Amino acid sequence: MSKTLQCACHPWCIARRGAAETLACLCLLGLLAVGCGLDRVEELIRVLEKGSASAERVGAAGELGSLRDPRAIDPLTVALSDSDWGVQKAAAGALGEIGGARAVEPLIGALNNTDLVSGAEVAKALGKIKDPRAVQPLIAALKGRDAVDAAEALAAIGAPAVGALIAALKNPDSDVRWHAAVALGNSKDPRAVEPLAGTLEGADSPLLRSSAAGALGEIRDPRAVEPLARVLTDPSPDVRDHALSALGAIGAPAVSPLLAALKSVHPDVRRGAAEALSRCGDPRATGLLIGILKDTDSSVRAAAVTTLASIGAEELLIAALNDRDSHIRQGAARALGGKDSPRAIGFLLEAFKEHNSQVIAGAFPFFIKRGEPASEDALIQALDKFGSEETVEAFLNCGNPALKAAATRWAQARGYSITKIATEFQTASNVRWGGGR
């Protein structure tokens, strides 16, 4: 009996255990009659309606959702107006799990009730049920506090919502237009391509043009290539950036305009085109990327190095080791270090023999994984001359005591503190000394 009283005296314990054990405790205390003939659904409904602690009601609502019994719809509908936000949220989620026509109407009513705080969960539930009756109420919610969740729900409903979303692209409210564009992209419905292309080229708002470009990138329809290519001269850098990303996502059909964009007067377009081409992996980019390696903008040259690595342009990476920009030289060395070819490895080993600290600093993962005896001094010298936070973290976690000590000195000299974190959060822990032998 003392064990039962302990459960009742500590609500936090009840909350942690969940609805099943909560009910057991309540039965022992006499709040629910043992052997009264109630089945599990009826017991949970009783707790949802009569439970004094919000944790009890939340647990009951959650389990009713998992049981998916239609008898729970009416009490869950009442719980949508519970004074506790957590109960409202659990009730909405449970109705979404149960689904069916009867669950839709109360959820739509709750979505339109601005006095409730569970609108986001209501929208998610409607998206899960995918009933077309929810489309217009969710469109209306695109201008409210739960607009993001309403847009996601419309995308989840899919085809029945596309027509209304296309119409919403012309809504006088700019927020509605923006969320509609995002939802159309997430729906991936090809019917949205032409309306989104029109928004891309005709909207006054740079934010809306950017969202339209991003949506076209999500749909990945080749018909979007031409309108996306035309906005690479857009006055907004954000629009240009989204258009380039979308072209990269579309892939092979977009290679020609991306190659042309390598000659743009805008450095951000040249850089973005090089980055997008790395996603396409098309060898046709090689010739133009040779010229990009000599670009006056270092970020463009760095993007070219990455792309050359992705398409296997080993000779050009070797040539980039002599670039005037130190970041490019290190980037080329890093890319070569990730290639498993005798020629690339030979160049890196030759650079190591020549104590080329910049190449060693760029390809540090390669040299750490090799773990050659007596190679620590050259790596430490490269750290001291060209080290970065990434290099230091790798040295600290690679398992070599000399490199760890050098990294500690480097960090302390520059005002860094070193903190132990869980292995799963270590970004450089996979670079282990001798791990590539």
Residue-wise pLDDT for 197-228, tens only, equals 999 999 999 999 999 999 999 999 999 999 99
Say which residue, 218 or 35, is predicted with more confidence.
Answer: 218
Which CATH number is 94's domain given?
Answer: 1.25.10.10
Question: 62-71, 180-189, 341-350: which has the minimum mean pLDDT?
Answer: 341-350
Last residue of one domain, picked from the residues 98, 116, 132: 98
Last residue of one domain, picked from the residues 32, 65, 98: 98
- Asked if the model's pLDDT at residue 36 lies above 60, the reply is no
For residue 21, being part of any structural domain is answered with yes
Quick one: pLDDT band at residue 436, thresholds 50, 70, 90? confident
For residue 165, being part of any structural domain is answered with no
How large a percentage of the chain has pLDDT more than 90?
Answer: 67
For residue 201, being part of any structural domain is answered with no
Last residue of one domain, picked from the residues 65, 98, 131: 98
pLDDT at 294: 78
Structural domains of the chain, count: 2
Quick one: pLDDT band at residue 77, thresholds 50, 70, 90? very high
Q: State how far the Cα of 410 lies from the Cα of 377, in Å rounded to an integer.
A: 14
For residue 105, being part of any structural domain is answered with no
For residue 420, being part of any structural domain is answered with yes
Task: Over range 307-311, report the average pLDDT.
Answer: 82
For residue 30, being part of any structural domain is answered with yes
pLDDT at 100: 93
Task: Over range 121-146, report the average pLDDT.
Answer: 95
Host domain of residue 15 = 1-98
Q: Is residue 314 within 8 Å of 344, Cβ to Cβ?
A: yes
Say which residue, 421 or 432, is predicted with more confidence.
Answer: 432
For residue 405, being part of any structural domain is answered with yes
Which of helix, strand or coil describes residue 311? coil
- Asked if the model's pLDDT at residue 38 lies above 90, the reply is no
- Asked if the model's pLDDT at residue 29 lies above 60, the reply is no
pLDDT at 422: 56
Quick one: pLDDT band at residue 423, thresholds 50, 70, 90? low
Query: Please, which residues have CB within 8 angstroms of residue 132's CB and are 6 or more apart in sequence?
Result: 157, 160, 161
Q: Is residue 312 within 8 Å of 340, Cβ to Cβ?
A: no
- Asked if the model's pLDDT at residue 1 lies above 70, the reply is no
Query: Which amino acid, one-letter code, is at 187?
Result: S
Q: Is residue 423 within 8 Å of 363, Cβ to Cβ?
A: no
pLDDT at 126: 97
The residue assigned the tokens 């450089």 is 428
Q: State how far the Cα of 307 lies from the Cα of 273, in Å rounded to an integer.
A: 10
For residue 50, being part of any structural domain is answered with yes
Say what the pTM is.
0.72
